[in-house]
Amino acid sequence: MTAVPPWDAFTATEAEVRAMVADPRWQGLSVPDRAHVLAARILVTPDGDRWLYGAHARWHLHDPADGRWHLAPPPRGTRARRGGHPAAALPDAVVPTGYDFHAEPGSTQSFVGPDVPAHLTEQLRVLVRAAGRKSELDYPLTAFDEIFASDVPSTVAAAWGTIMWCAYAPAFDGNERLITVFGEYLRRSLPGDEWVRWLPAPPLLDLVTLVAERLRAGRPRAALRLAAVIADTAQLLLLDTRFRPRALALLTMVEPMLRRPELAVAQEPPRHDDPREHDAAMRRAWLARCPSRLCRALLVENDPEADFSHVLYDLVAALSFEPDPRAAAASFLADLSDSGGRLPGRLDHRLRQAYEELRRAGLTGTSAGEATEPEGFPVRPGGVSVAPAPVVEVAPPDRASAATVLGAAYATGLAWGRLTGAKLPERGLAGQAALVRKIVHERDDHHTGHA
């Protein structure tokens, strides 16, 4: 007889709210009416915390100090009761619209774990080989020139940029076959340590620039060819859940240009226009084509603050195997550079408490700190800072869990960088590097899909 999982108030409330939001009548309710329905289903845990399952099909934790609601995964398995809460006190931002519940969750795993499936890698290899046969004179490298040699055509850069933009967290095993496909085109060795490549996540503008430049040059066919490479790459990436949400969003932005080439030609500017303005206008046009149901995938472009909140939610959720997930998450946040003191105000009160304990002990902002003293003299010969040991020893139960933590932690670092301009060390942050050292000697898992 199959064991029945114990009843959980959080899981039960999720199912109830999902059913209500999926009901066609939900769209006909006013925002205050929706808020009233949600307020009646707020859960209260024994420690007094209030939890709301709301916008983006995610949990929100109420901060009793200032009344804000923060994205935060709940303490599943904890006793909870229904607690009254004034509906008028719920901000519109936490009330589901309906389309926000349609987002595909994807996978938060980095590629330091299960490899990209062999059949996907092979199809991308064929695509990149064909792209590499184009002439760099017809397809000049107008973006990603820090990655590729000057004689590499932008068709190769378009494939690379699509992969990196679509990746939830572009941290790859040093022997990842998908990366070796690009080996002969690289300008120099990729950043990272001897085993992990902590690769930058490009903005959408870099992909747009490749297409827009060809339009400005009066080469609309070449522009459409580049758009086709982007679309073909994204179509293949749908096969891996670590790429799928953003790949789907990118397809909705690019495919209309291929079905109606006049959309691209219509965006060709007068020759005297500022190229940056043209690129920015095309980027806005791409983003405008993406349907609302895919909005979460575009937070990385449209709302860096919300994007940081979501990846932080992923990080805490990825650490659910820890006795105290928030203390473990705070140890990863301690690696981030926060000279302006902006981080604590973006955390829920429980996570903020854990982070502040580390800050008071002088254990925050160390591994991402400046490499030189204020006068420009190096901290040590060569100006390389020494990454400290992690504050909390994180012990994932298996390699897949470790890859999920690494992905969420790296995505959090990248999101913090987009929000504040903080730079990430090429060898990774201290907590990530320590976790990598634990699994570096394990062989890669066979690819069986991702949670």
- Tens digit of each residue's pLDDT (9 = 90 or more) over 320-332: 999 999 999 999 9
Beta bridge mates, 43: 51, 82
Inform me whether the pLDDT recorded for 424 exceeds 90.
no
Which amino acid, residue 437? R
Domain positions in the chain: 9-102, 118-301, 304-368+387-439
Inform me whether the pLDDT recorded for 230 exceeds 50.
yes
Task: Read off the DSSP letter of residue 62.
Answer: E
Give percent of the chain with pLDDT exceeding 70: 88
The whole-angstrom distance between residue 153's C-alpha and the CA centroid of its chain comes to 28
Of the listed ranges 219-223, 249-253, 282-286, 429-433, the one predicted with least confidence: 429-433
Element (H, E) at 346: none
Task: Read off the DSSP letter of residue 248.
Answer: H
Q: How confident is the model at residue 87 (pLDDT cuts 50, 70, 90)?
A: confident
Q: How confident is the model at residue 103 (pLDDT cuts 50, 70, 90)?
A: confident
Q: What tokens were used for 81?
A: 């009761």
Of the listed ranges 129-133, 211-215, 249-253, 442-446, the one predicted with least confidence: 442-446
Of the listed ranges 386-390, 395-399, 437-441, the one predicted with least confidence: 386-390
Alpha carbon distance, N-terminus to C-terminus of the chain:
26
Closest Cα partner for 38 from 99, 100, 84, 102? 84
Q: What is the DSSP string of 397-414?
A: SSHHHHHHHHHHHHHHHH
pLDDT for the residue 60: 98
- Tens digit of each residue's pLDDT (9 = 90 or more) over 361-396: 888 876 544 333 333 323 333 333 344 555 678 999
Place of tokens 């254990």: 363
Q: Compute the distance between CA of residue 224 and CA of residue 57 in angstroms, rounded to an integer.
A: 37
- Tens digit of each residue's pLDDT (9 = 90 or more) over 136-162: 999 999 999 999 999 999 999 999 999
Q: What tokens were used for 447?
A: 């690819």
Q: Is 143 helix (H, G, I), strand (E, B) or coil?
A: coil
pTM to 2 decimal places = 0.90
CA-CA distances (angstroms) from residue 386 to 15, 38, 137, 156? 47, 48, 44, 36
Torsion of CA 361, 365, 366, 368, to 10 degrees: 170
Q: With contact defined as beta carbons under 8 Å apart, do 409 and 316 qualify? A: no
